Amino acid sequence: MDFATFLIQILNGVQYGFTLFLVASGLTLIFGIMGIINLAHGAFYMIGAYLSFWLFGMSNSLWVAILVGLPIMVIFGYAIERLAISFLYKRDHLYQVLLTYGLILILNEMQKILWGSDFYSVPVPEFLSASIPMGNQEYPVYRLFVSLVCMIVAAGMYVVIGKTKLGMMIRAGATNREMAQALGINISRVFAIVFSLGAALAGFSGMIDAPLSSVYPGMGDFILIISFVVIVIGGIGSVKGAFVGAMLVGLADTFGKVLVPEFSSMVIYALMALVLLWRPQGLFGRPS
């Protein structure tokens, strides 16, 4: 591998890491704050991708699709939280796993009923469809744009959680539910908001990834499992951990494919095992 290719591979890894972060951050947020393990997160991602395809078909604009799709995802997340998740806060993780597993089955079939089992794609917006020459290949501008958006979202999450009143309530709820309640914070409303935002984040990832990845049934399954690896490495509940974990997984996957192709799919799991050997609670997780 020459040096230029090496640099491009690093870029590939980081760029992949950014897209993983977007999905994983919602997952880790929902767990960190609500203590809910949401297997249906990948399905939310898929719904987002299909929404962007569907809304693009009507509006012919990805931006309109995202603008209209986001509120739909929020409402969708809110409905699921109220109708199902809200019954689980006091129940064992086991039931959360099963209920959200049931949700996956339902959402996958709903997708088939609504959109069939064909695969679709959403075109890259015109002004972002160029490519930049880089070494002996070209790099699509849209990929760089997605990375930029992910960075903005990461910064936004940092500000919202760290600096705003909502963020304060969220942190209070995460640290001590009873205490937060005693202080007059309506925990069930905070949870509903967080879950809706998490769903919207997953949906948004699906929407913004749609032009890159195409839209197809079962696209959420793969992203779900890899997101788990990301947040286990980073420390469940930590947004910072999700970021670092996503970067590590992105790079490990990219270089694993090139350097040890026979074992490429196991590289990230080996990475996870190594991290856990060193820190069972993940890189930025609170010790349990």
Smallest gap from Cβ 205 to another protein, in A, equals 14
In this structure, the number of other CB atoms found within 10 A of the CB of residue 5 comes to 13
Alpha helices of the chain — where are they, by DSSP H? Answer: 3-34, 41-59, 62-83, 93-115, 141-163, 165-175, 177-182, 187-213, 219-234, 239-259, 264-278
Q: Which of residues 9 and 70 has its CB atom nearest to another protein in the complex?
A: 9
Smallest gap from Cβ 229 to another protein, in A, equals 6
Q: Which of residues 182 and 277 has its CB atom nearest to another protein in the complex?
A: 277
Q: Could you give the angle at which helices 93-115 and 219-234 cross, rounded to 10 degrees?
A: 150
Smallest gap from Cβ 73 to another protein, in A, equals 20
Instruction: Tell me which amino acid residue 179 is.
Output: M
Smallest gap from Cβ 187 to another protein, in A, equals 19
Contact 219, 53 (CB under 8 A): no
Buried b (16+ CB within 10 A) or exposed e, 42-71: bbbbbbbbbbbbbbbeeeeebeebbebbbe
Q: Which of residues 67 and 78 has its CB atom nearest to another protein in the complex?
A: 78
Q: Which of residues 160 and 168 has its CB atom nearest to another protein in the complex?
A: 168
Q: Could you give the angle at which helices 239-259 and 141-163 cross, rounded to 10 degrees?
A: 150
Q: Which of residues 112 and 163 has its CB atom nearest to another protein in the complex?
A: 112
Smallest gap from Cβ 156 to another protein, in A, equals 25
What is the distance between the terminal CA atoms of the chain, rounded to a whole angstrom? 42
